[in-house]
Amino acid sequence: MKPRPDTNGSGGGSLHSTATSPSLLERVRGDDAAAWDRLVKLYAPLVYCWCRRWNLQEQDTADVFQEVFLAVAKHIAAFRKDGQGGTFRGWLRTITRNKVLDHFRRQGKQPGAAAGGSEAHFQLNQLPAPDGSEDASAAESRAEQGLFQRGLEFIKGEFEERTWQAFWRTTVEGRPPKDVADELGMSAGAVRVAKFRVLHRLREELGDLLE
């Protein structure tokens, strides 16, 4: 997507069009290569984190990672939010879990890797418990939070620096609009408009991917 400059003299910034742009997910479904690249960059750290939490070894993660995104590419057209709380993130987590499970099943089928009998069959169908350590939980939390920041990186170039700073300082840093307005030479109203416009653009770009 070609960035569109934010040229509103008030400092609030202008959105690029009154028409709603196709969301990232819609563009991926339309075989947009650039959109697919964005989707992978957005979710790659989270998929990697899930693989590690499910006790997948470092050397095996790359193979499973590739299988996950091949499955996404194959089935993305069929994904729909189901109205029951289903999200793209949940769908992706299920795919990742299944691919990790497939990996452990393949491991278990190697000669000498597991004993025979029904107990062995049961074990082969179980996914190792996620690593519940504090470090692993913190890593997953950071990866979840990173979705928001990586999404912001995609759209940052569409806004003037002052507009972006007004958004960043109020939304990310949590500072009062009046203080930010004084620092940036804007009115408090313009700061609030800047915040709204950046968040609106983020929602337009990521849509259901934010949920």
Are the beta carbons of 199 and 167 closer than 8 angstroms?
A: yes
pLDDT confidence tier of residue 210, bands split at 50, 70 and 90: low
pLDDT confidence tier of residue 55, bands split at 50, 70 and 90: confident
SS3 content of the chain, % helix, strand, coil (to 5): 70, 0, 30
Distance of CA 1 to the CA centre of its chain: 18
* Largest CA-CA distance found in the chain, in angstroms, rounded: 74
**Res 17 pLDDT > 50:** no
**Res 10 pLDDT > 60:** no
Q: Render pLDDT for 110-132 as a digit per residue (tens, 0 to 9).
A: 434 444 444 444 344 455 556 65
**Token pair 């400092």: residue:** 11
Tokens of 132: 């519940």
163 or 17, greater pLDDT: 163
Domains of the chain in start order, with CATH, are: 24-146 (1.10.1740.10), 159-211 (1.10.10)
pLDDT of res. 33: 93
**Res 49 pLDDT > 70:** yes
Contacts of 48 (CB under 8 A, 6+ apart): 61, 65, 143
Q: Name the amino acid, one letter, at 128.
A: P
Q: Taking residues 37-62, what's their average pLDDT?
A: 88
Q: Render pLDDT for 155-205 as a digit per residue (tens, 0 to 9).
A: 999 999 999 999 999 999 999 999 999 999 999 999 999 999 999 999 888
Phi, psi (degrees; rounded to nearest 5) at 22: -60, 140
pLDDT of res. 108: 74
**Backbone conformation region of residue 178, classed left if phi is above 0, alpha if psi is from -120 to 50, else beta:** alpha
Q: Taking residues 38-63, what's their average pLDDT?
A: 88
Distance CA 177, CA 188 (A): 5
Tokens of 81: 């939010």
Residues 136, 66, 79, 131, Cα dihedral to 10°: -20
pTM of the model: 0.69
Contacts of 28 (CB under 8 A, 6+ apart): 35, 36, 39, 76
150 or 14, greater pLDDT: 150
Question: Averaging pLDDT over each range in 9-18, 32-41, 91-100, 190-199, which range is the top one?
Answer: 190-199
Q: 92-114 b/e with 16+ CB inside 10 Å = b? A: bbebbbebbbebbeeeeeeeeee
Q: Render pLDDT for 56-113 as a digit per residue (tens, 0 to 9).
A: 888 889 899 999 999 999 999 888 765 444 788 889 999 999 999 999 888 875 434 4
Going 149 to 151 to 153 to 156, the CA torsion angle's sign is negative
Tokens of 98: 């299944």
**Token pair 């196709």: residue:** 22
Question: Averaging pLDDT over each range in 40-44, 108-112, 143-147, which range is the top one?
Answer: 40-44
